[in-house]
Amino acid sequence: MKDLLRVADLSAGDLDLLLKLATGFQDEPAAEPGLLTGRIVPMYFAKPSTRTRLSTAAAVTRLGGTPVALGPDELQLRRGETIADTARVMGAYAAAIVIRTFADTDVEELAAAAPIPVINALTDGHHPLQAVTDLLTIKEHFGDLHRHRIAYIGDGGNNVARSLMEAAALAGMDMVIASPDGYLPRKEAVASARTEADRHGGSVTVTQDPAAAVGGASVVYTDVWLSMGDSEDERAHRREVFAAYQVNQDLMDRAPEDAVFMHCLPAHRGEEVTTGVIDGGRSLAFRQAANRLPAAQAVLYALLTDRLEGRR
């Protein structure tokens, strides 16, 4: 497996390996300081980024390499050079490519042409680095993953929800997504995740009732309601539609006492989550953010040492 474009490309064994590697990098951050010595990793960001940009740059540095951050105005893509040509050129200079952009097809085209590993650092459809981080954080807190229940509250059709659902299915977890009508996850994505969950002893459920979703949950998870580029009318509409899906103290009280709160950040306090919850004693949101670093190290190491098998 040369690239990591989406969680569904991984096998259950691949996911388990990434979590073990990430745990190792938590314990020994500088365990592989020579892997990327004398090599660069271009990081192309067409979207703003805080955690992904910094954690991936730090991961490359800890592995001995030099991260090179690039934006849309710093390459020749806007002057007509194709993605495939850009990929071939980068492949002559670099050890791997990290890309955060809009269309999944752009990342797929880059990976098809590049002779080196390509890592999806977020697209409109997927966020695999976040999902690996999320499961790492859950395993770190609870000690294991199997049969723990994640209740995702909010926009079930977004990239974070989809990648988390795919990862939970591979790990044999129970995943329930609570979203309003019109924002439920795609039926084909749910069907695929359910098939995988059935193979590994987990389950995937979709509901419109957030209170029912958090019952029996180990993790209550949410993400922003508003996307970059939404019009003012769309933003106002989403605030109205999602008002009943805010993760507040009342909703957390409906979950078991040992349930934790998670958020991939950035958070819009007072919208999808209250300040009391995200800053409260049950919140793992900032531990989760810190874990982006060892997760990125694990993915880079696994791809560069050809450790991932992929789905067969």
Q: Which residues are annotated as catalytic?
A: 100, 127, 130, 223, 264, 292
Taking the CA of residue 296 as centre, how many other CA atoms within 13 Å lie in the half-sphere pointing to its CB? 31
DSSP β-ladder status, 219-222 and 260-263: parallel
- The CA–CA distances, whole Å, from 193 to 166, 211, 217 equal 6, 23, 19
Look at residues 234, 244, 185 and name the one whose alpha carbon lies nearest to residue 212: 244
Backbone φ/ψ region at 311: left (φ over 0), alpha (ψ -120 to 50), beta: beta
Report helix angle 83-93 to 104-113, nearest 10.
Answer: 50
Across 15-32, b (16+ Cβ under 10 Å) vs e yields bbbbbebbebbbeeeeeb
Q: Tell me the C-alpha distance between 93 and 58, whole Å.
A: 20
Look at residues 291, 281, 276 and name the one whose alpha carbon lies nearest to residue 258: 281
